[in-house]
Homo-oligomer: A and B are copies of this chain.
């Protein structure tokens, strides 16, 4: 059981390319010690950190946001229960919201199959207020994109 991981090892275990790991370091998401010969040696907790980063990306967080969240975790010691709880709590609403959006979309698509939505008037995917032009933007049945699909 090695205490330090080379970049290749961390890459293999995390499934993240070495170039990406170097990039993560560059933007301050992870850090590494160096051997006398200037090679990176990662501490074991880095593995967990990288896994967390990947997970967070899934939720739709940018690396910047992830960095911000991770900065609330202590750099010097393993995070305490409280540290984790704080982080988890801050991401939780985001995850829930994302799930909800997806469920809504799924239901909408389902509904479309059965609803005879071919008549544009009743389709859930269609804006109910579409004829009421001028009363605010219509057809925006989705929440504002929030810069995600960028």
Contact = CB atoms under 8 A, between A and B. Distances in A.
Interface of A: 1-2, 9, 12-15, 44-45, 47-48, 50-52, 54-55, 57-59, 78-81, 84-85, 87-88, 91-92, 95-96, 98-99, 101-103, 105-106, 108-110, 112-113, 116-118, 120, 123, 125-127, 130-131, 133, 137-142, 144-145, 148-149
B127 A15 contact: no
Contacts of A105: 55, 58-59, 95
B58 A102 contact: yes
Residue among A45, A50, A52, A116 with the highest chain B CB neighbour number at 10 A: A52
A70 B54 CA distance: 30
A125 B81 contact: no
B102 A14 contact: no
